[in-house]
Amino acid sequence: MCGITGWTAYDRDLTGGAERAALTAMTATMKCRGPDAEGQWAGPHAALGHRRLAVIDLPGGSQPMGVAEDGRTLAVLTYSGELYNYRDLRRELRSRGHRFRTASDTEVVLHAYLEWGRSFTTRLNGMYALAVWDARTEELLLLRDRVGIKPLYYCCAGAGSEVLFASEPKALLAHPAVEAEVCADGLRELLSLAKTPGHAIYTGLREVRPGHLVTISRTGITEERYWALRAREHTDDLGVTVSTVRAMLEQIMIRQTVADVPLCSLLSGGLDSSAITALAARTAHRPGHAGVRSFSVTFDQHERDFVPDLMHVDSDQPYVRALAGHVGTDHTDITLATAGLMNHANRRAALHARDLPSGLGDFDLSALLLFRAVREHSTVALSGEGADELFGGYFWFHDPQTVRAGTFPWRAAIEVYTRAGFGDAPMSTRLLDPALVRALDLPGHRRERYRRALAEVPHPEHAGPVEHRMREITYLHLTRFLPMLLDRKDRMSMANGLEVRVPFCDHELIEYVFNVPWSMKTAAGREKSLLRAAVADLLPDAVLKRPKNPYPTIQDPRYTDTLRTALADLAHDSSAPVNALLDRTAVTKALNGDANPRDMRYAAELVLDLNTWLDDYRVRLDLP
């Protein structure tokens, strides 16, 4: 897992000193993604940078990596990710005459491109973002994995004659020709909690969309889709479906537990992480595999402070202990101190990891601190991300009100949550200037994005109304909600040089389960019935029957008190850039205690993060 960057220009030579300095600056911004090594390559019209986190073939996988023939460069690759089927591909490529000088998956990707050209995209199984400079055609290819596990951005510079790319926006913003500018549409996207594929918030920046290949040549930029969810008739009965899911998970775990560095699992005691941990433990019992370590997160005094609500039904720790004891992992609880979550430097580090304000507060911050602690023991971690979206785990999949809502279901669930009196919601705009909020028209923005998303959904023939709607909801989660979670997971983990693998996001598993009828996914009358059946023999009964519980959040009142103090300091700082965006009356009420602390928590988080972002990144807002 690594950080990649670079650019192409057809009207000037990129081997000069100024260009090298720019490439060095861009590459240096991603040292956290690749703490083990740095590499650069430059030719007349392309420059590639790389920061490496060594996971496979530690001595041999240096990048950028090139292939030459008769002293002439054919292609050069800078690559971030893991190719899980690289051993199979290497055997096939060897049978076709290719010779390898390393044991790395990077070299397999490069030779796969040389063998199959752009159709190599269909051969890769893994999580990846990569750039290939084809010196023969003078084309730059940017490729992103099917689900969007690994990030990749690009933008035009030099009056449109140059194209830059990077794993993160910070690397693009380090180039002297790129400015941190955000227009009204970018701010709408930031606040909408519905990730639009390809949108990058910053004006002029684009994300390579999941499952897409972008080609830059002398004639311009083209984009092609190499993978999409398709509607297929599901002919397996329930028993075959359960056994197929189990067999697929076992094969996925065999592929994804390959590493030349310490590997662990992230365990919450819920169904998803417990299934991954149990499967990893079984895989680890094979010859040549070490036992599995597992890590969980909790907060100091969490048992004292915990209050159940609509989503957080119970505490994780009893289930964590039950699963770890059942499968025999070497388990460690990571207890996060309130002081660390209140620390401004940590909050700033979380924002810089994303390059954007998330408005999610301790949801991001605790993940950053968890991964920092895990990285002291392991380089690779397994996570259960994606199961809820694929198998229907969230409560709003099963609530008639949110299912019928004419918007993204998680947005409808947020409204249910706030009306139930559990506090405000992520990206709450209640402290922002009402005139600005009206001008942004976030409801209108979400309606338009929702309409476009629904138009993409593939439906089989003769589907009934329930099946039709639940397929829509699953598709929305896989393409609009899951990408937000994957982005968070990537940024918070890679900020600490930790690679996180997500077995439930294997594209073959997604293709299969996406087309399983909703009646099978809920055959036992509850959420994720299909997954529960597939792993029933691996888990203790308490864990197997546990209701869905989301990632924990701190409930220590000192945390909210710190937010209030920071908001007060900001409100009295006339130089704070966010003040121009605030509703002074709402801020005063919040500070005077007129608002319930729970009702201002996320709103305050957003304001504080916006201010740090505007200040640190010197963002120019182009607003109505």
Catalytic residue list: 2
Q: Residue 395 gets which letter from DSSP?
A: G
First to last CA, the chain: 40
Buried b (16+ CB within 10 A) or exposed e, 48-69: bbbbbbbbbeeeebbbbbbbee
For the beta carbon of residue 467, count every other beta carbon within 10 angstroms. 15
417: helix, coil or strand? helix
* SS3 of 311-348: CCCCCCHHHHHHHHHHHCCEEEEEEECHHHHHCHHHHH
What distance in Å separates the CA atoms of residue 565 and residue 429, rounded to the nearest whole number?
Answer: 19
The two tokens of residue 461 are 């023939």
Q: How far apart are CA 363 and CA 257, in angstroms?
A: 27
> What's the CA gap between 544 and 269, in Å, rounded?
10
**DSSP secondary structure letter of residue 148:** -
Give the containing element (helix H, strand E) for 183.
strand 181-183
CB 132 within 8 A of CB 106: no
| H/E element, 602 | helix 597-616
CA 239 to chain centroid, in Å, comes to 33
Q: What are phi and psi of 290, to 5 degrees?
A: -80, 160
Residue that the structure tokens 């109304």 belong to: 465
Buried b (16+ CB within 10 A) or exposed e, 164-174: bbbbbbbbbbb
Backbone angles phi, psi at 557, to 5 degrees: -60, -20
Tell me how crowded residue 339 is: count the other CB atoms within 10 A of its CB.
12
Tell me 477's DSSP state: I
Q: Are strands 153-157 and 139-144 parallel, antiparallel or unpaired?
A: unpaired
Sheet architecture: strand order including 37-42: 37-42, 46-52, 2-9, 162-166, 153-157, 205-207
Looking at residue 10, what DSSP letter applies? S
Among 79, 222, 96, 220, which residue's Cα sits nearest to residue 152? 79
